[in-house]
Homo-oligomer: A and B are copies of this chain.
Amino acid sequence: MTQWVYPFGAGKAEGRAEMKDLLGGKGANLAEMSNLGLPVPPGFTITTEACIWYYKNGNDYPPELEAQVDKALEHVAGLVDRGFGDSEHPLLVSVRSGARASMPGMMDTVLNLGLNDRTVEGLARLADDERFALDSYRRFIHMYSDVVLGVEHHLFEEILETYKEDLGVSLDTELEARHWRDIIKSYKAKVEEELGHPFPQDVREQLWGAIGAVFGSWHSARAKTYRKLHAIPEDWGTAVNVQAMVFGNMGETSATGVAFTRNPSTGAHEFYGEYLVNAQGEDVVAGIRTPQYLTRVARERAGVSAPSMEEVMPQVFGQLTDVYKKLEAHYRDMQDIEFTVERGRLWMLQTRSGKRTAKAALKIAVDMAAENLITREEAIKRIDPASLDQLLHPTLDPKARRDVVTKGLPASPGAASGEIVFKADEAEKLKAAGRKLILVRVETSPEDIHGMHAAEGILTSRGGMTSHAAVVARGMGRPCVSGAGALRIDYATETMVVGGRKFSAGDIITIDGSSGEVMAGAVATVQPELSGDFGTLMVWADAVRRLKVRANAETPQDAATARKFGAEGIGLCRTEHMFFDEARILAVREMILADDEAGRRAALAKILPMQRADFVELFRIMAGLPVTIRLLDPPLHEFVPKTDEEIAALATASGLDAAKLKSRAADLHEFNPMLGHRGCRLGISYPEIYEMQAQAIFEAAIEAGGIAGSPVVPEVMIPLVATKRELDLLKARIDTVAAQVSKAKGQSVNYLVGTMIELPRAALMANEIAQSAEFFSFGTNDLTQTTYGISRDDAAGFLDDYLRNGIFAIDPFVSLDVDGVGELVKIAAQRGRATRPDVKLGICGEHGGDPASIAFCESVGLDYVSCSPYRVPIARLAAAQAALMNK
């Protein structure tokens, strides 16, 4: 018989931390903590398999489930000496979701389940606190009705607010037991009015309703959005954790809190967190009350007077310290814990690996390796390469003038400028139009996730360091300033006022998530610091990786950035990018629109010295590292003047007839330029273009070699090859140019000639092509376009539909499609090497900077990856991880 239910509590459990897939992260860790002997309220976990079964069987439960739940519930009741539905000693439980991957705030929770008109009286007697019992009951009715029964949240809030107004009070704490009785009556009446039947008094009906709601929330819109953003499969399902309630809201000796075993923002080795006296756990996470610090040091550093837990309840704090140290040592990672203190007794409700900023992750990994808690290889594996992106982008220039208008909490590091936007939907829309935005909210909720993703940064007026906004922003690598309480935000007029200054939607502001500062206008930035922990980890990564990492760069600035980030060469210099310069575009246009070869050669002669100078500079910066130069690739019409003014300017500059230029420009129009007259097809039709480029490359190599005192060996790359013959024809011309340059300069030039593999046919014919190509560079952007038949420029029209329908797990232009495009890469690598065992193999599409794609490149044994300069460190780390994975 399938075991659908795993109990835990009282120092033992049937589950273990490793059983995350089956029990979800929360359930597995509750079991693990129980086994470690930590104080965990007893409970049980219904497996993710039960959820999967539920969805596969038309939202029905496995037949054995009910009996297993009953048995587990009895066991829990026994351990705490209560009875579920017992009017004297009522067992109350929490029901929480818990999937394999942490999905913070995305799944629904029900607390205080088991309360009804009878048990609430029992609870009042047991706790000797009628007000507490009634408060718990009204919370339960509210939460259960909202989450399980679908009665809208605000209906209950309105009842409460009206009641308080009528009573003339403003705080919940001013309400007494008899007031809660009235309110409970109104709540129940409202539920019956809304649903046509009363609030369930049967505690078993309550429990199964909650279990169903947890399963149901797996397919809620916001859970789906989260999974889409985080590439979590739809078919994992969630577990359900049913656990005896403990109460942080049983007066001043009770409390609830969340903590990290190290600082999740900086990585500092310090206990870090917040707590609230006399509150339930959800109160902290929701960011409704501003919580207090855990440690005295933290409180003092923040200059806050509200006492820390360390000061208020030193004994329990001492216990908590023992627990967190034990947990970190046991899990060998920084933990994110939740706890409740019920009348002076500590209960652990959760532990899990804590989310952290990239900077913190780096520091924690390097520190833990130094502490011998983990190995260097583990440290390497611990860092999500993509997260490094956060560290590699500019921060605010300390010397730049800052018009600081207010300060909030430094909730997620990094700085960003952008237009103010107040609504998530609007943010998403404007982002699609290429705008840079700062999302400004009173507080954020899961409904805002798409807007947070679209924004450059997030600013909230409420909530702490562990509020929804803070946690999600850190996960996304977006800068965030939270709890900037001086802000007055008015959604209706789309304005915010602070310190007497008014800002409207569209105004530019800057936030610094590392300092909490909010500034008017845009502020200049500086390059990130690449030494310290970052440098240490990079050294470790470089020691284990096999793949070389190059950069895609054309400009001296990009090349310099690439070297600074550790690029071992240039894998793709797109020569056409050198053509858009104001000073050159006229000559380029003259070349393109020339009537004949003579006209083109005349224009090319003007371009030659500029190209040569570009290459000299590039070779000089790269100082002997390999530089792969791709000859002209894009459809010529990309350079074609579009407006009459541009044509007139060109006519004047070139002395050519404007009408003729216009007609020639029209001739160059293509229906599908991506599949048109571009790449080596230009070289075949207009060999003089490639000849000029080859001449510039070889002359520059000689000149730069002379400056450096050592020879430069350029790698000349022919784009969009589909047949060996194309390569042969063009290689012959390049060889001829090399011989001519060599003769003219009296100096030999060494060079390689290779090809992009970016068409399915080229991949299939790699055995033939490798007879002539000394290297292959996989252009996986184009290869993805042709293999899938999808234009990256036009995919937006259906990409969302494809992600939503599970056709794409991830945009194939972001992460390489291993099954389809990957097979072609594999075929090409095998066939290429079969012909020429030492053919150099690299990848230079956007995928070259994507960790999953880099893992694939390692698995097929490519020699290098090439990516944008800022992604070079990501690639270095990902390559190291891939090497470790393949070990």
Spell out A's residues near B (CB within 8 Å). 670-677, 679, 681, 684-685, 720, 722-723, 725-726, 729, 758-761, 764-765, 782, 785-791, 793-794, 797-798, 801-802, 805-807, 817, 819-821, 823-824
Contacts and interface: CB of A to CB of B under 8 A. Distances in A.
Contact of A671 (B793, B806, B807, B824): B793
Count of chain copies:
2
Given A673-B671, A789-B722, A729 B807 contact: yes
B722 A761 contact: no
Contact of A787 (B720, B786, B790): B786
Contacts of A817: 761
Contact of A670 (B681, B759, B797, B805): B797
Given A674-B672, A787-B786, A797 B759 contact: no
Given A729-B807, A788-B722, A798 B685 contact: yes
B820 A760 contact: yes
A535 B825 CA distance: 50
16 contacts: A670-B791, A670-B793, A671-B791, A671-B793, A671-B794, A674-B789, A675-B791, A684-B798, A684-B802, A722-B790, A722-B820, A723-B807, A725-B805, A761-B817, A761-B820, A764-B819
Identify which of A722, A817, A823 gathers the most chain B CB atoms within 10 Å of its CB: A722
A187 to B, nearest CB: 38
Contact of A797 (B674, B685, B821): B685
B807 A725 contact: yes
Contacts of A798: 677, 681, 684-685
A40 to B, nearest CB: 41
Contacts of A797: 670, 676-677, 681, 685
A522 B671 CA distance: 34
A790 B785 CA distance: 12
A380 B674 CA distance: 44
Contacts of A788: 722, 759, 761
Contacts of A793: 670-672
Contacts of A819: 764-765
Contacts of A725: 805-807
Nearest 6 Cβ contacts at the A-B interface = A675-B791, A761-B820, A672-B791, A676-B794, A760-B760, A677-B797
Contacts of A670: 791, 793-794, 797
A685 B726 CA distance: 39
Contacts of A801: 681, 684-685
Contact of A790 (B675, B790, B802): B675
A769 to B, nearest CB: 11
Nearest to A720: B789
A729 B675 contact: no
B761 A821 contact: yes
Contact of A675 (B685, B794, B805): B794
A621 to B, nearest CB: 33
Contacts of A785: 675
A144 B738 CA distance: 41
Nearest to A636: B797
Contacts of A684: 798, 801-802, 805, 807
Identify which of A729, A787, A806 gathers the most chain B CB atoms within 10 Å of its CB: A787
Contacts of A723: 807
Given A723-B807, A806-B725, A789 B820 contact: no
Given A671-B791, A677-B797, 8 more contacts: A676-B790, A677-B794, A679-B789, A722-B790, A725-B807, A758-B789, A764-B819, A786-B787
Given A673-B672, A722-B789, A797-B676, A729 B805 contact: yes
A807 B720 CA distance: 14
A604 B685 CA distance: 47
A723 B798 CA distance: 15
Contacts of A806: 725
Identify which of A675, A684, A764, A793 gathers the most chain B CB atoms within 10 Å of its CB: A675
A760 B787 CA distance: 5
Contacts of A791: 670-672, 674-676
A787 B824 CA distance: 11
Contacts of A726: 807
A759 B761 CA distance: 12
A696 to B, nearest CB: 23
A116 to B, nearest CB: 43
A686 to B, nearest CB: 9
Nearest to A817: B761
Contact of A786 (B681, B760, B823): B760
Nearest to A674: B672
A764 B824 CA distance: 9
A158 to B, nearest CB: 32
A675 B759 CA distance: 14
